[in-house]
Amino acid sequence: MALKVYKAANIKNALLVTALVFVASCKYEAVNEVPATSSSANSNQVSAIDFALPMCDGECTCDEAQIDFNDTGSLLAGDYPEGNFPNCNSQSGFLQDCDVGADIEQTNNDDGHAGFSFTKLDNNGNASFDSEFTPVCVLDNVTGLIWEVKTFAGSGDLQDAAHTYSFRDDNYPAFSTLNGGECDIECDSQSYLNRLNQKAVCGFSDWRLPSKIELQELVNYNTFTPAIDTNYFPNTKSSFYWSNTLDVDDEGSIWAVDFNVGRVAGGVSSTTRHIRAVRGQNRLLNQFESPTAEEQLVNNRRLFAPQQRCNTIEANTAPSNRYKQDNNGNVLDTLTGLIWQKCVIGLSGENCEQGQAEKLDWQQAFEAAANLNDETPNANPWRLPSIKELQQNIELACEEPPLNPFAFKNIPFGEVWSSTPAPRNDNASYQYQYQNSIIFYSARQSKHYVHLVRNCSTF
């Protein structure tokens, strides 16, 4: 099938030097302004600095990578315009999610589905390898995080799977609702965590809410209702669970992950949601030096992201020092080891200011990757990213786009395709929104942007 190219509207590379404009329905403007110093201009000026990323020492390699993260677990091969093959058999002719990653090497492991690896823990935090044992907590052997396990719905105890909660964090009163859920007593997230820590579940008293990235790592995109490994996480509700990630673009909104089909979306704090608490180091925080004063200036960021809004209430997870580039300008994420094309398909130039971003259907997106690999053969071929790879690259402190604008310049708003088929709807695949980072799926005949990625070493 010949590749058809669909043109989108021109992406403007406008330099905005006027005062910031308040956006309807959003309380927060781009507020991470830095006071003027002898080395930086004020927020209404553009600092004349070099925004180029540092170069890799030769070819970008996996030596830079700092973390492992869970694969999607998908063994499905999506057909076009519809159909999912139950096993990854390359019948589509393209490099799909199921062809790459941990899930292709560990399909028969006995400690989790297709690349997931878990250890059951008892109430004292001791490991149990009894297949019949119902865990109280679970250690994720990939991320090192420990998760609570819910008791059956109607049990009436603290961790009853049916209980719901409003979101509350007294550090962020504008994002909090007191006692708004349905449980036995004090039905908000902060009260629940206090009680969980007082009880010292599994011997630990440092339970917290996960970030939306940490929570999405538990999603098994090979299944649905619930989209999780129920051998390790029994009693999981096919519904949304709170994260601790604030939706910096909307007042009172917090991100949540859906364990019905693996969606990720925001919701106001008064919404009733479930909770799955976690303990352990948040690997996105304190990994890198803080962004420089010049990098944080609103108008410097808007050189390459004219409408980006950021907020200092959320920690930066993707400062420029997280990234490096190769001689072709491709971007290495030193946290994950993934190498991204600096521009989406259709854009080119040093700052991705030339051409027009193309919207393609799912078949055409795969064809675009295949065509590029034919033109520039490499042991690590370009491919569509999985839905978890797209989420891992996010800047939690910003939206429109939720990416570092110095690493990924002039990113268009809208959905980008992932390589992950939707198991519930076999005519759909998952998409990631480069405006506000929402995750959902759409029909494979829909037109979305394409942002290609490749591994840092031969897979």
Q: What is the pLDDT of residue 11?
A: 29
The H-or-E segment that residue 368 falls in is: helix 362-375
Q: What is the pLDDT of residue 276?
A: 98
Does the predicted model carry a pTM greater than 0.85? yes
Q: What is the pLDDT of residue 49?
A: 59
C-beta separation of 248 from 397 below 8 A: yes
Q: What is the pLDDT of residue 108?
A: 55
The H-or-E segment that residue 119 falls in is: strand 118-121
Q: How far is CA 406 from CA 50, 66, 171, 366, in A?
A: 10, 21, 30, 27
Dihedral sign (CA 242, 247, 250, 251)? positive
Q: What is the pLDDT of residue 4?
A: 28
Q: Identify which of 366, 453, 351, 361 has the alpha carbon closest to the alpha carbon of residue 411.
A: 351
Dihedral sign (CA 306, 312, 318, 322)? positive
The pair of structure tokens assigned to 84 is: 């999912």
Q: What is the pLDDT of residue 105?
A: 64
Could you state, in chain order, the average pLDDT of each consecutive group of 10 residues for the chain (459 residues)?
29 28 33 35 48 86 84 93 85 83 67 90 95 95 96 96 98 95 96 98 98 97 97 97 92 95 97 98 84 89 92 90 93 94 96 96 96 89 96 94 96 96 97 96 98 83
Q: Is 120 exposed, middle or buried (0-12, 13-18, 19+ CB in 10 A)?
A: buried
**Phi-psi domain of 156 (left: phi exceeds 0; alpha: psi -120 through 50; beta: other):** left
CB-based contacts of 113, cutoff 8 Å, min separation 6: 73, 220, 222, 223, 229, 231
CB-based contacts of 234, cutoff 8 Å, min separation 6: 134, 149, 150, 152
Q: Which residue has the tokens 């795969």?
A: 366
Please name the amino acid found at residue 67. I
- Give the angle subtended at the CA of 94 by the CAs of 92 and 100, to the nearest 5°: 110
